[in-house]
Chain A
Amino acid sequence: MQLDPSFIWTAFWQIFRAIPTTLSITVVSVLLGFAIGTVTALVRLYRVPVLSQMASAYVTFIRGTPMLTHLLLIYFGLPMLIDGLAESFGWSFRSVSIPMIGFAYISFSITAGAYMSEVVRAGMQAVDRGQVEAAHSVGMTSFQALRRISFPQALAAALPNLANSVIGMLHGSTLAFAVSVVDINAQAQIVASTNWKFFEAYLAAALIFWGLTALIERAAALIEKRVGAYNRGGVA
């Protein structure tokens, strides 16, 4: 078997078609994960009884186990739960009607949620306590202070970590092959095995991921510069 450089180009375009799938998994899991993570982080920061212990357990479990196990647990566990409930309550909805990509969305959002909660938490803790006190002193309610003062600053502080999480989810989306979703990785596998050119196909897939990662990094750097503007210190 010889390396066939021209096939890398062919494979590149064939794999290119799977980019929307990969991106949709990434975007959905990042957005839902961010929502879950924010709630989890707030529950832990404000030490809400019971809920904060549950949140800690959730974060510990997710961060201590591989993302692949989350996907497999959801894939095999969720249908059991749904079908069990459907039977006892007489719903017509069955787990069969969940598309494969749905399992990836759900499981990766849960994974992302735990990691994002740490990102949000670190960001919130980076905000000076005096900012919230100042907000209260000008008559803001706790919620207003959170929404208008702490959260924007926390987000700015968390941005580098947030970008890392997004890249992590982009790379993690390759696991979707386990539930037969055709993302970039699975497409590479298909291209590779139909043409019997494995190295070339994976090289093309690696190049695509490399490019996407570079794009995310570039975008994050731009946003970081923009939102960090209030915090540069110095004169002018």
Chain B
Amino acid sequence: MGAPFEIGYVFSFLPKLLETLGVTLLIVAGSLLTGIVAGFLVALPRMYKIPVLRTLSGLYLSFFRGTPILIQLFLFYYGLPELLKPLGFDLSRAPVLFFVILAYGLHTGAYAAEMIRASVEAVDRGQVEAAYASGMTSYRAFSRIVLPQALAIAVPVFSNLVIALLKDTSLAFTLGVMEMTGKAQTLGTLTQHFFETYIALALIYLVISFTLEKVLLAAEQRLKRHEAREEKAGRSFKLRRKGSYRAVLADIDAGKGGRL
């Protein structure tokens, strides 16, 4: 299959693949933005227990988490123009990238919603009560007390979300978007050096996800600096919601032999 292995090709493919890095990152950034907005919209009815909307959010979450992203991509690409045609929108000329970003965005939105809900719920109820007791409005209590703490809790999950999204964008080529994986396939077909292209491709993905992980880890540490100081002062007290078995497990400090 193909030509014999030559390591030189890996290096010559790297810059060619990097040319399309912009498209990949555009999909990631666009979907992330869409996803966070969608995530908030979906998470709010669940957090505030708004009757009908809550059921709808549940359905949204179940669907987007219950079907593969590849199927969702095709569903959006073929289905959306048909669904919107009777409403007077003509999407047949919309760029493919639009469908791709929308599909990835709504897919990410489902995971973002769970992330938002879980991290807000992980902030101790007493914190909000204390904020109210000191005379803050509910908006202020949220923006000054809950949000900063929830953010710190959300970062590790967010980090996983971004990296998963980056890896998922490798499927956009199925709709004909020329992002890195699509480019790699073209290069492979042109030169018959498939294995080398995919090694180069894997290396690029690896470097990007590694960098993203490190950057977000640094962000997490910065957001958690207050907690770190507390711990240094000898108080091993940590904010923890009574929560479910799962939440408690997620909270276990691995380094300490799993004390509960």
User: Residues on A close to B: CB < 8 A?
Assistant: 1-3, 60-61, 63-69, 72-73, 76-77, 79-80, 95, 122, 125-130, 157, 160, 167, 170-172, 174-175, 185, 188-189, 192, 198-199, 202-203, 205-206, 209-210, 213-214, 228, 231
Contacts and interface: CB of A to CB of B under 8 A. Distances in A.
B198 A72 contact: yes
20 contacts: A1-B82, A3-B83, A63-B209, A64-B210, A64-B213, A66-B205, A69-B170, A76-B1, A76-B195, A122-B254, A125-B252, A128-B259, A129-B258, A171-B67, A185-B68, A188-B74, A205-B71, A209-B67, A210-B66, A214-B62
B87 to A, nearest CB: 13
A192 B194 CA distance: 29
B162 to A, nearest CB: 12
Interface of B: 1-2, 4-5, 62-63, 65-72, 74-75, 78-79, 82-83, 163, 167-168, 170-171, 181, 188, 194-195, 198-199, 201-202, 205-206, 209-210, 213, 245-246, 249, 252, 254, 257-260
Contacts of A199: 75, 78-79, 82
B78 A202 contact: yes
Contact of B70 (A126, A127, A170, A174): A174
A73 B199 contact: yes
A213 B66 contact: yes
A130 B259 CA distance: 9
A125 B181 CA distance: 37
B71 A185 contact: yes
Nearest to A178: B174
A128 B79 contact: no
Contact of A202 (B74, B170, B199): B74
Contacts of B259: 128
B55 to A, nearest CB: 16
Given A69-B170, A172-B68, A214-B66, A206 B245 contact: no
Nearest to B193: A76
Nearest to A184: B71
Contact of B167 (A67, A127, A128, A170): A67
A213 B170 CA distance: 23
Contact of B205 (A65, A129, A175): A65
B170 A68 contact: yes
A206 B62 contact: no
Contact of A3 (B2, B68, B82, B194): B82
A78 to B, nearest CB: 9
Determine the main DSSP class of B at the interface with A: helix
A65 B206 CA distance: 5
A68 B210 contact: no
Contacts, number: 131
Given A185-B68, A188-B74, 11 more contacts: A1-B82, A64-B210, A72-B194, A76-B188, A76-B194, A76-B198, A128-B260, A192-B74, A192-B78, A205-B71, A213-B66
Contacts of A203: 75, 79
A25 to B, nearest CB: 12
Contact of B257 (A65, A95, A129, A167): A129
Contacts of A60: 206, 210
B135 to A, nearest CB: 39
B258 A127 contact: yes
Given A64-B205, A65-B167, A72-B194, A213 B67 contact: yes
Contacts of A214: 62, 66
Contact of A68 (B63, B181, B260): B181
A2 B74 CA distance: 17
Given A61-B206, A127-B258, A175 B195 contact: no
Contacts of A69: 170, 181, 198, 201-202, 205
Contacts of A68: 170-171, 181
Most buried by B among A67, A68, A79, A175: A68
Nearest to A70: B202
B164 to A, nearest CB: 10
Given A127-B258, A206-B75, A160 B246 contact: yes
Contacts of A122: 254
B171 A206 contact: no
B68 A174 contact: yes
Contacts of A65: 167, 202, 205-206, 209
A73 B202 contact: yes
A155 B83 CA distance: 45
A171 B68 contact: yes
A95 B195 CA distance: 15
